[in-house]
């Protein structure tokens, strides 16, 4: 009898027959039964073996490489650790670092146990949702140290003391009687209620015991093992599964053993021969050598992701039936060749390893259908990938792949995701089944499509994403071929125009061309009858095509941030198929719902439209229209008034002073209306009561002095922002002016920034005694209309800078209290002398998810805290009535007090500084938050001291599993400390340039990925930590701690007078607006003498909404320039460079580039004595001829020069090709601009093609400093008094005379990257910068800002001497200047006088040429009827050789095996460009000859038409009509 298959409760009948046993599975089994000295109990009895108690430390492999030096710091003092008893009481022990469990247990017995209790006790560790018995050799103090370091703590934080405070948020140590443990594991969970028994409802087919703290299999399952089909044992402490139980599971198909901290696969698993699906993920497996999974012949699916596996065992290919294999998040450096021998493999995931190369043998996976390789370091696909004939899905995102040619042409490929790679040229031969292609976030500069399958074969592509590339144009043919496209994303490129073939995409539904340079859309867009969404925001559009009226299904148009000055009148007679108009209304209904289309009141048009006219289809389809930040004025709004189906209308930040009186007459469906940032002094009131659906109204940033009483009738209004206006009226005059108490559904009300508004409280009166028009007087009762407490649904109330006064002793203004779901702001907008502004939006969920914190420390001059906490969306599956903001509220209420405690606890003698206090504050808050949340659920009978609303302290599971991002800025004098976790970020504007001072904790970040993996976490292909959370650090998310922890990134920023403001925001802003764009938008408020950061914050919020933000958004703008203010303006960077009078209405003929238009207005053209700067790009002609990245590089170059002209106060005279001519009022302003441009050119995001060529590759000087990268620009500076005349064509100032000629010649004498200066310029530098000469007559005119900026950068002066300039009689004394750090350019050799194009193109390499040679050999072999095969360069492993010997096969006769080096011209890495060019010429001739032979061989035979017809006539079988038809067809050939 096999006693190993007997459960503990089984009665053994006498004389029971023995069962033969496989000796390989039983080591100590013998014929003796129970009671024999040599008898071994069955594994299912879970009898602990004494000799196994000193097993290996399961955590040993977790120790990081830097553990050893840290031990010397922390091992001197004993660790304090809490040990819990079974009744939840605890005892704190103090033990040295090296004490093991075996040494600790006797001491625990004396301290924790009664004297008479002699039952064996064991020490347990509970963490990460699982429990296990500690091995006798493990060190509890070492475990504590490792976990704390993984959670973000440093040794200097006193790790040895933290354990005494309790680490329940990380782990717990428990000491329990072993007999008690054994009893409980038989039938129920270890640490749950003892009465909660396992209940399977008599169904034992599918057993889920996940997270039940089981050490062994419950007895009841032994009795029904034969019925179990699926068994899930994940998150349990068992390290072995009884063999007798596994062998009894005769129909087991699925076994899940994930998250069990196993270092080895249980030995019994290989005996489950019926398994189809095995999950071993999220363990600590280092290899599979002893698993012997090949003993499971029917294994189909194997999950071993998130382990520590570096290689696979040699016998792994014997899993012949395996179809799904997940190896992601392991430690593979190359794709194991053994995998390529799994012939039936269909699904392979190797994401987030360290794989840099895919073997050529990948082509052997003929049945592979899905391949995921996200987050590796793969550079290229081998050409053998062309053999993956059945591959349908390929996800190769976030690698370093540069070429997709081999992959795109795969015949069955359906989806290809290749974003975030190194692709710069996209030559696509698309497969006929490819429907989705994503190549966004690549430096693509050119795209070409090569038809596959013949000219009559159509592409099947339905989704194409080319966003975030460097494309400047699309070929008409390329776009026209994609007629089946449904979604086309071309956002964030450099397009100036789109081809007319866009109109041929008849199935297109979504078109995104945002963030380009488009100045017009093609008129053919009107043919897109399926188009539903058009996104063209942030371009340079001056008008939209009139044909847009013909788009019958277009529901959303977003053209925010353009230069639209008008909207075309609708065509009266539309000659396209129109959408069916709605059925006629009954007479009575028609009388109330007639579409009234007023006359188009313009000077140039008097067209009148009526509902009976032929209105265009767009009138009936358009629902959302975004027209923010354009140039629309009052007289161009009339065409918009006929959109009767509009639900969202955004007209913010235009030039509208007054809306037409009947503007809202037809917009009865309107739900959201944005009119912010215009010049409105009033809004039309006639039709406001008709807006029954209106829920959101933004009127901030206008000139409103009162609000109309009719606004009270918008009963569904929930979001109202009227901040930063000129409101000044009696809010108690409710009969004529608006009062908020009549809009009971308000959830968001912002009145902040209305500094003239006074809320005067009057004595409480019974308003029912007054005439309340048609409103119910009982709705008011004995209330004051100045209060807000009646707005019970209010979530955000903004009253910053609003004056609240009382008129008598019994008069008060009822301001509601704050709670978890309500934020009330009543403070002023100045802290520590700095003005600040806050703007937020609830989002489409209408819930409070973000909280701001502003605190000025009393008694601590110059110290303040600015912070925000929360998330953009509420937790999913939140129970009704539960607060979505509980975590944020806790952090908001506790941060300041906790930070003060940590500041006071700093020990300067140990080198502790403010960043340490910030880090400890974040970590301690996260710990306290855990204790508060979880203690609330454990102590339902009484309050646990949490903040928030009174009542039940129960916290639902959705809140317990949620988290919150956070950022805190601590100002001490002129030093700023920034700490953040998650996606709440801060950006500083330094002289108009965005400087990030925080870090987004993105799981895709390779450093964060490594930290996550070290903490036993993993990242899924969508970029989620453990497939749950989209940030790698955060408050909360305790189920993922320490993988997701609250350790902040900390930045110390020393503020200077160059710093203007700081933008702090959550992802609601940063997901839609870049750092630099946000700074540019915020700087637009600096055009006033006293910039208002409140308006800047509101403007950023409104732009985020216009660009697509729909979640909770919070933005804070802090004007740090106020710390340096003097008698001059708050805006320091414009002083002495741009006259304050220049803040005026912009000219209409300025440069149409939105990124430039937001900047400071261009200075007037300098006249009189001025400085001229000429620039030119070295070797630009050859770059244009040979380098495909040049168009994108030129746009970057032009944009950089123009932006810096605005910052430095320069005037763009003209451009000729790539050369600029600029003028400056002073010499040092010109020097400032030239030095700044040279520095910024090094850091531009140049196309890869440019960086790979000789003219643009990065170069370093002898000290290893980067001195050249990308385009090399020469400059020449001279000053004098030229002849000044405006150009009659461009109307811009131009300059003539000898001074101009001299300036141009000085520029010509400079080399690439050099700044050549005349003597006059050097005199000013010596006088004001180096202070080595006396001042000149113009020195006093030099702007102080330019002087300070040049001194800050530093300038290196190198005398060249007298140089004879072309066309000038006398030589000129010239001098070179460089920014400090770039003087090493003088060591570089300048290019030849007459350079060739070879240095401008991407250089050929020997490996590339060899690849072409192998292609040549393949074509030549095909021409001779054979297939060429080159021998593999790999050295086969012993295991591979042994497997090959199992099934040797003879090489077919049609295979041509040869060494390519014998058949190709010699080439190596030392071959020169000329050598490689000769080889390429030879190969091209050979390829052409081989192709000619192939054409001749396979060309169909030619037929003489006349002979063919004669043969048909002679046959006499065909009738005359058929013969005539054949003849006509042949004549047409």
3-state helix, strand, coil in the chain (%, to 5): 30, 20, 55
Higher pLDDT, 305 or 766: 305
CB of 1267 closer than 8 Å to CB of 1260: yes
CB of 915 closer than 8 Å to CB of 969: no
Least reliable range by pLDDT among 171-180, 592-601, 1346-1355: 592-601
State residue 430's pLDDT score: 77
Other CB atoms within a 10 A radius of the CB of residue 959 amount to 22
State residue 937's pLDDT score: 61
Q: Which two tokens stand for residue 757?
A: 């508004």
Task: Please check the confidence at residue 1502 and state whether its pLDDT lies above 70.
Answer: no
Task: Please check the confidence at residue 17 and state whether its pLDDT lies above 50.
Answer: no
SS3 394: strand
Q: How confident is the model at residue 231 (pLDDT cuts 50, 70, 90)?
A: very high
Higher pLDDT, 961 or 882: 961
State residue 942's pLDDT score: 45
Task: Please check the confidence at residue 414 and state whether its pLDDT lies above 70.
Answer: yes
In 1341-1472, where does DSSP find H-type helix?
1344-1353, 1406-1423, 1438-1446, 1460-1463
State residue 1401's pLDDT score: 55
CA-wise closest residue to 1429 among 1465, 1463, 1451, 1455: 1455
Q: Which two tokens stand for residue 280?
A: 């071993």
DSSP secondary structure, 274-285, as one string: T-SEEE--SS--
State residue 686's pLDDT score: 87
Q: Is 882 left (phi over 0), alpha (psi -120 to 50) or beta?
A: beta
What average pLDDT does this structure show over 1263-1278?
93
3-class SS letters over 716-761: CCCEEECCCCCCCCCCCCCCCECCHHHCCCCCEEECCCCCCCEEEE
In 1037-1142, where does DSSP find H-type helix?
1067-1070, 1075-1083, 1093-1106
Q: Which two tokens stand for residue 1446?
A: 């199992």
pLDDT digits (tens, 9 = 90+) for 1304-1326: 999 999 999 999 999 999 999 99
Q: Which two tokens stand for residue 825?
A: 């702001």
Least reliable range by pLDDT among 304-313, 1133-1142, 1182-1191, 1359-1368: 1133-1142
What average pLDDT does this structure show over 123-133?
81
List Cα–Cα distances, 880 to 175, 845, 877, 940, in angstroms: 40, 13, 9, 19
Task: Please check the confidence at residue 308 and state whether its pLDDT lies above 70.
Answer: yes
Task: Please check the confidence at residue 1086 and state whether its pLDDT lies above 50.
Answer: yes
Q: Which of 39-53, 457-471, 545-559 has the highest mean pLDDT?
A: 545-559
Q: How confident is the model at residue 1098 (pLDDT cuts 50, 70, 90)?
A: very high
Beta strands in 1254-1391 (DSSP E): 1259-1260, 1266-1268, 1273-1280, 1283-1286, 1293-1296, 1315-1317, 1355-1363, 1372-1379
What average pLDDT does this structure show over 86-95?
84
Q: How confident is the model at residue 1415 (pLDDT cuts 50, 70, 90)?
A: confident
pLDDT digits (tens, 9 = 90+) for 1116-1126: 999 999 998 75
pLDDT digits (tens, 9 = 90+) for 950-1003: 344 677 888 889 999 999 999 999 999 999 999 999 999 998 899 999 999 999
Least reliable range by pLDDT among 214-218, 358-362, 380-384: 214-218
State residue 1018's pLDDT score: 93
Task: Please check the confidence at residue 159 and state whether its pLDDT lies above 90.
Answer: no
Give the Cα separation of 1214 and 332 in Å (integer).
Answer: 57
CA-wise closest residue to 961 among 1044, 894, 890: 1044
Task: Please check the confidence at residue 392 and state whether its pLDDT lies above 70.
Answer: yes
State residue 1518's pLDDT score: 65
State residue 773's pLDDT score: 43
Helix (H) or strand (E) holding 109: helix 101-112
First vs last C-alpha separation in the chain:
87
Secondary structure letter of residue 642 according to DSSP: G
Q: How confident is the model at residue 41 (pLDDT cuts 50, 70, 90)?
A: low
Query: Which are the contacts of 1520, defined by CB distance < 8 A and separation ≥ 6?
Result: none
State residue 769's pLDDT score: 40
Task: Please check the confidence at residue 1520 and state whether its pLDDT lies above 80.
Answer: no
Give the Cα separation of 1074 and 1148 in Å (integer).
Answer: 26
- Percent of the chain clearing pLDDT 90 (strictly above): 49
Q: How confident is the model at residue 281 (pLDDT cuts 50, 70, 90)?
A: very high
Give the Cα separation of 798 and 802 in Å (integer).
Answer: 9
State residue 274's pLDDT score: 94
Q: What is the largest CA-CA distance in the chain?
A: 125
Least reliable range by pLDDT among 178-182, 399-403, 1226-1230, 1236-1240: 178-182
- Note the pTM of the prediction, 2 decimals: 0.84
Give the Cα separation of 802 and 26 in Å (integer).
Answer: 83
State residue 583's pLDDT score: 45
CA-wise closest residue to 1242 among 1349, 1355, 1379, 1345: 1379
pLDDT digits (tens, 9 = 90+) for 684-695: 988 888 899 999
pLDDT digits (tens, 9 = 90+) for 598-634: 444 433 333 344 444 578 999 999 999 999 999 999 9
State residue 537's pLDDT score: 95
Q: How confident is the model at residue 1499 (pLDDT cuts 50, 70, 90)?
A: low
Q: How confident is the model at residue 1403 (pLDDT cuts 50, 70, 90)?
A: low
DSSP secondary structure, 306-359, as one string: SS------TTGGG-TT--EEE--SS--SS--GGGGG-TT--EEE--SS------
Query: Which are the contacts of 1271, defined by CB distance < 8 A and separation ≥ 6?
Result: 1177, 1178, 1193, 1197, 1241, 1244, 1246, 1250, 1256
pLDDT digits (tens, 9 = 90+) for 834-879: 999 999 999 888 889 999 999 999 888 889 999 999 999 888 888 8
Helix (H) or strand (E) holding 804: strand 803-806
Q: Across all residues in the chain, what is the average pLDDT?
A: 82
Backbone φ and ψ for 1195, nearest 5 degrees, come out as -65, -40
State residue 972's pLDDT score: 95
Task: Please check the confidence at residue 573 and state whether its pLDDT lies above 70.
Answer: no
What average pLDDT does this structure show over 1050-1078?
94
Backbone φ and ψ for 1207, nearest 5 degrees, come out as -75, -35
Q: How confident is the model at residue 562 (pLDDT cuts 50, 70, 90)?
A: very high
Give the Cα separation of 554 and 545 in Å (integer).
Answer: 14
Q: How confident is the model at residue 1242 (pLDDT cuts 50, 70, 90)?
A: very high
State residue 194's pLDDT score: 34
Q: How confident is the model at residue 1472 (pLDDT cuts 50, 70, 90)?
A: confident
Least reliable range by pLDDT among 423-432, 649-658, 931-940, 1408-1417: 931-940
State residue 1398's pLDDT score: 52
């Amino acid at each position: 009898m096999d006693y190993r298959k007997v459960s503990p409760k089984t009665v053994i009948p006498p004389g029971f027959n023995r069962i033969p046993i496989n000796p390989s599975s039983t080591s100590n089994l013998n014929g003796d039964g129970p009671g024999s000295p040599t008898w071994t109990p069955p594994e299912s009895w879970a009898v602990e073996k004494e000799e196994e108690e000193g097993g290996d430390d399961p955590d040993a492999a977790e120790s990081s490489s830097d553990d050893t030096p840290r031990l010397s710091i922390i091992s001197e003092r004993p660790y304090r650790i809490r040990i819990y008893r079974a009744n939840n009481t605890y005892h704190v022990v103090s033990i040295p670092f090296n004490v093991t469990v075996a040494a600790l247990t006797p001491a625990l017995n004396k301290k924790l146990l009664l004297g008479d209790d002699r039952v064996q006790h064991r020490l347990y560790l509970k963490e990460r949702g699982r429990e296990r018995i500690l091995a006798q050799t493990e060190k509890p103090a070492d475990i504590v140290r490792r976990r704390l370091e993984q959670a973000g703590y440093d040794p200097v934080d006193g790790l040895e003391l933290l354990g005494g405070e309790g680490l329940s948020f990380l782990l717990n140590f428990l000491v329990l009687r072993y007999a008690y443990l054994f009893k409980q594991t038989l039938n129920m969970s270890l640490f749950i209620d003892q009465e909660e028994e396992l209940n399977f409802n008599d169904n034992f087919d599918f057993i889920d015991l996940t997270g039940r703290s089981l050490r062994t299999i419950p007895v009841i399952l032994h009795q029904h093992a034969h019925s179990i089909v699926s068994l899930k044992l994940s998150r349990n402490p068992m390290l072995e599964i009884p063999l007798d139980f596994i062998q009894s599971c005769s129909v087991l198909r699925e076994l899940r053993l994930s998250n069990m901290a196993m270092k080895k696969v249980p030995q019994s698993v290989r005996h489950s021969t019926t398994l189809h699906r095995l999950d071993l993920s999220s363990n600590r497996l280092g290899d599979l050598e002893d698993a012997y999974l090949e003993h499971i012949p029917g294994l189909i699916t194997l999950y071993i992701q998130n382990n520590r596996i570096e290689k696979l065992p040699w016998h792994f290919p014997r899993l012949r039936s395996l179809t799904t294999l997940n190896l992601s998040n392991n430690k593979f450096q190359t794709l194991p060749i053994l995998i390529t021998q799994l012939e039936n493999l269909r699904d392979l995931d190797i994401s987030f390893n360290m794989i840099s190369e895919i073997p050529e043998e990948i082509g052997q996976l003929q049945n592979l259908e899905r391949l995921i390789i996200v987050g590796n370091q793969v550079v290229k696909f081998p050409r053998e990938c062309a053999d993956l004939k059945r591959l349908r899905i390929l996800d190769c995102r976030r690698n370093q792949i540069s070429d997709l040619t081999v992959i795109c042409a795969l015949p069955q490929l359906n989806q290809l995701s290749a974003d975030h790679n190194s692709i710069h040229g996209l030559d696509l031969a698309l497969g006929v089944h490819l429907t989705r292609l994503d190549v966004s976030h690549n430096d693509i500069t050119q795209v070409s499509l090569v038809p596959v399958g013949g000219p009559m074969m159509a592409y099947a592509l339905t989704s194409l994403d080319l966003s975030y590339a460097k494309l400047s144009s699309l070929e008409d043919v390329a776009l026209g071929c994609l007629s089946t496209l449904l979604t086309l994303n071309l956002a964030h490129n450099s397009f100036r125009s789109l081809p007319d073939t866009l109109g041929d995409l008849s199935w297109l539904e979504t078109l995104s061309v945002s963030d380009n340079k488009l100045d017009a859309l093609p008129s053919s867009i009107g043919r897109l009858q399926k188009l539903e969404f058009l996104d063209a925001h942030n371009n340079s559009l001056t008008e939209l095509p009139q044909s847009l009226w013909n788009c019958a299904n277009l529901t959303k148009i977003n053209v925010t941030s353009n230069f639209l000055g008008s909207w075309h009148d609708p065509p009266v007679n539309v000659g396209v198929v129109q959408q069916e108009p709605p059925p006629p209304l009954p007479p009575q209904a028609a009388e109330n719902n007639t579409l009234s289309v007023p006359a188009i009141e313009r000077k140039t048009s008097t067209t009148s439209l009526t509902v009976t006219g032929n209105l265009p289809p767009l009138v009936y389809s358009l629902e959302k229209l975004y027209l923010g930040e354009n140039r629309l004025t009052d007289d161009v709004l009339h065409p918009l008034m006929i959109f009767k189906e509009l639900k969202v209308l955004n007209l913010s930040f235009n030039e509208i002073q007054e809306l037409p009186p009947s503007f809202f007459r037809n917009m009865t469906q309107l739900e959201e209306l944005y009119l912010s940032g215009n010049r409105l002094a009033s809004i039309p009131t006639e039709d406001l009561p008709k807006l029954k659906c209106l829920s959101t109204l933004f009127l901030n940033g206008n000139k409103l002095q009162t609000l109309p009483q009719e606004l009270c009738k918008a009963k569904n209004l929930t979001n109202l922002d009227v901040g930063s206006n000129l409101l000044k009226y009696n809010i108690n005059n409710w009969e004529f002016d608006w009062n908020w108490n009549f809009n009971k559904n308000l959830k968001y009300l912002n009145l902040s920034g209305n500094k003239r508004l006074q809320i005067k409280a009057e004595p409480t009166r019974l308003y029912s005694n007054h005439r309340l028009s048609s409103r119910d007087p009982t709705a008011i009762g004995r209330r004051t209309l100045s209060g807000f407490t009646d707005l019970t649904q209010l979530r955000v109330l903004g009253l910053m800078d609003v004056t609240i006064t009382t008129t008598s002793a019994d008069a008060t203004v009822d301001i509601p209290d704050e709670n978890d779901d309500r934020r009330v702001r009543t403070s002023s907008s100045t802290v520590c002398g700095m003005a600040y502004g806050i703007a937020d939006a609830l989002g489409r969920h209408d819930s409070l998810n973000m909280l701001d914190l502003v605190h000025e420390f009393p008694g601590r001059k110059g110290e303040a805290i600015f912070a925000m906490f929360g998330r953009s969306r509420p937790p999913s599956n939140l129970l009704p009535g539960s607060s979505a903001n509980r975590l944020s509220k806790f952090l908001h209420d506790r941060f300041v007090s906790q930070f003060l405690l940590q500041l006071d606890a700093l020990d300067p003698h140990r080198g502790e500084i403010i960043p340490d206090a910030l880090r400890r504050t974040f970590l301690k808050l996260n710990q306290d938050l855990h204790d508060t949340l979880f203690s609330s659920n454990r102590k339902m009978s009484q309050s646990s001291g949490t903040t928030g609303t009174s009542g039940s302290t129960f916290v639902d599971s959705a809140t317990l599993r949620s988290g919150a991002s956070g950022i805190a800025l601590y100002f001490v004098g002129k030093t700023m400390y920034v700490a953040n976790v998650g996606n709440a970020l801060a950006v500083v504007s330094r002289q108009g340039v965005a400087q990030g001072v925080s870090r987004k904790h993105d799981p895709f970040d390779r450093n964060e990925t490594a930290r996550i993996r070290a903490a036993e976490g993993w990242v899924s292909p969508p970029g989620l930590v453990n497939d749950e959370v989209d940030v790698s650090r955060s408050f909360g998310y305790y189920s993922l701690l320490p993988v997701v922890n609250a350790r902040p990134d900390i930045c110390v920023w020393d503020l200077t007078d160059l710093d203007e403001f700081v933008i702090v925001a959550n992802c609601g802003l940063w997901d839609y607006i870049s750092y630099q764009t946000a700074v540019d938008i915020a700087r637009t408020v600096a055009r006033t003498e006293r910039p208002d950061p409140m308006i800047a914050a509101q403007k950023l919020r409104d732009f985020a909404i216009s660009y697509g933000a729909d979640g909770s958004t919070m933005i804070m703008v802090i004007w740090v320039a106020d710390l340096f203010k003097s008698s001059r303006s708050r805006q320091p960077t414009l002083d002495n460079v741009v006259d304050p009078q220049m803040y005026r209405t912009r000219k209409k003929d300025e440069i149409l580039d939105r990124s430039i238009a937001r900047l400071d207005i261009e200075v007037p053209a300098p006249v009189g004595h001025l400085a001229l700067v000429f620039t030119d790009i070295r070797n630009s002609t050859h770059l244009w001829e040979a380098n495909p990245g040049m168009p994108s590089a030129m746009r970057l170059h032009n944009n950089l020069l123009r932006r810096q002209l605005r910052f430095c106060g320069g005037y763009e005279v003209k451009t000729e090709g790539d050369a600029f001519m600029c003028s400056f009022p002073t010499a040092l302003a010109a020097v400032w601009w030239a030095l700044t441009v040279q520095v910024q050119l090094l850091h531009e995001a140049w196309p890869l093609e440019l960086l790979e060529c000789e003219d643009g590759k990065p170069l370093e000087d002898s000290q290893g400093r980067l001195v050249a990268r990308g385009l090399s620009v020469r400059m020449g500076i001279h000053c004098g008094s030229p002849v000044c005349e405006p150009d009659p064509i461009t109307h811009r100032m131009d300059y003539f005379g000898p001074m101009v000629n001299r300036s141009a010649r000085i520029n010509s004498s400079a080399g690439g990257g050099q700044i050549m200066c005349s003597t006059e310029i050097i005199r000013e530098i010596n006088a004001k910068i180096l202070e080595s000469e006396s001042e000149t007559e113009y020195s006093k005119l030099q702007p102080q800002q330019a002087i300070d900026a040049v001194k800050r950068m530093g300038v290196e002066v190198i005398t060249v001497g007298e140089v004879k300039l072309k066309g000038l009689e006398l030589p000129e004394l010239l001098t070179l200047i460089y920014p400090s750090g770039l003087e090493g350019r003088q060591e570089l050799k300048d290019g030849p006088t007459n350079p060739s194009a070879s240095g401008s193109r991407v250089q050929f390499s020997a490996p590339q040429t060899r690849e072409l040679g192998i292609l040549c050999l393949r074509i030549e072999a095909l021409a001779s009827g054979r297939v060429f095969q080159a021998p593999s360069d790999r050295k086969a492993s012993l295991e591979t050789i042994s497997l090959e010997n199992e099934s040797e096969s003879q090489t077919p006769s049609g295979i041509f095996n040869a060494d390519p080096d014998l058949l190709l011209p010699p080439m190596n890495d030392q071959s020169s460009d000329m050598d490689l060019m000769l080889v390429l010429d030879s190969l091209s001739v050979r390829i052409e000859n081989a192709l000619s032979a192939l054409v001749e061989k396979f060309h169909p035979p030619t037929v003489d038409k006349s002979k063919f017809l004669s043969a048909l006539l002679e046959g006499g079988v065909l009738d005359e009509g058929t013969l005539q038809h054949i003849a006509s067809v042949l004549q047409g050939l």
